[in-house]
Homo-oligomer: A and B are copies of this chain.
Amino acid sequence: MSLNDISDLIRQLKGRGAKSVALQFPEGLKRKAAGIASDLRTAGFEVIISGDPCYGACDLALDTLNYANVLVHFGHAPITEHPDIIYEPYRIDFEINILEKALPLLRGRILGLVTTIQHTHSIPAMRSFLQEKGFDVRISNGGSRTPQTGQVLGCNFEAATKTGAPEILFVGTGLFHPIGIALSTRSRVIALDPLTGIASEVSGDTLLRRRFAVMEKARTASSVGIIVSTKSGQQRLDLARRLVSLSPLATIVMMHEVIPDELLNLGFDAYVNTACPRLAYDDQIRFPVPVLSPPEFEIICGIRSWDDYTIDEIL
């Protein structure tokens, strides 16, 4: 965060009449906490840093608001608005010409464009670049969890789906988002890492094969824990209650962090994850037993067909 940004934040905080401020950072930005806290203390605020893990705006440190007038949440766009929360997204710039690297992989002229919150400010420049190359660029608003145009989350691909485009360009790091987009949209998906310039076509096939194996293993479970998150933007108790009603073997397990050791200690033969959808897909290797998504559990309970497999999203 530059000095300029800090001045602006201090102005906002003073404008709200705040005396005490809580700061929350995702893991990758936590190192900035001590410095920003020091700057704010010098400016006269009492400061509390939230030290809990944080992976998204779905995981607000609301408890700090019992002790501070305002919570500043860094690195993410709002999933839920709150009068006492200031969101400070963290922008990462890149050289727009890097999009060149994705062009050889694109087949059609109609192209959906999506990215993550670090790069949504570059959407207009990316659109211009692609239009100049002759593409009919489709950029959509997502749902309420993704307030920025063209923004996707690991749990929400609506901004991709709503383009209706047969081919989607995802600009961002990692393969989880583009795999999710592929499974959610069934469109062709090209992923471009704007920092390394590595572009690739992404398919959901490998994930699907792995998930079908996990589901097969979960079939023989004689007890199933239905995980419900207590995090502000991940709590799907209604869904969990519906899933519990599908099986006499199922019990609701409420957790803040979904910790492998706790799943082991509780001793259920399998779990269904209604918290952050990525947990089941990304972290299965860390879990001692199968952890299914809600649609996967519906399939093994026989109320959804295998052909109707879908990736879990929070809408």
Contact = CB atoms under 8 A, between A and B. Distances in A.
Interface residues of A, number: 41
Contact of A51 (B30, B223, B253): B253
Contacts of A47: 251-252
A141 interface: no
Nearest to A266: B30
Given A30-B267, A31-B267, A237-B67, A48 B252 contact: yes
Contacts of A237: 67
A49 B225 contact: yes
Interface in A236-280: 237, 251-257, 259, 261-263, 265-268
A144 interface: no
A34 interface: yes
Contacts of A265: 27, 30-31
A37 interface: yes
Nearest to A251: B37
Contacts of A50: 253-255
Question: Main SS of the interface on chain A?
Answer: mixed
A22 B228 CA distance: 13
A22 B237 CA distance: 14
A63 interface: yes
Given A47-B251, A64-B254, 20 more contacts: A22-B254, A30-B266, A30-B267, A31-B265, A31-B266, A34-B225, A34-B266, A34-B267, A48-B228, A49-B252, A49-B266, A50-B253, A50-B255, A51-B227, A51-B253, A51-B255, A52-B257, A53-B259, A53-B262, A63-B230
29 contacts: A22-B254, A27-B265, A30-B265, A30-B267, A31-B265, A31-B266, A33-B251, A34-B225, A34-B266, A34-B268, A41-B251, A47-B252, A48-B253, A49-B225, A49-B252, A49-B253, A49-B254, A50-B253, A50-B254, A50-B255, A51-B253, A52-B262, A53-B261, A53-B262, A61-B254, A64-B254, A67-B237, A67-B254, A257-B257
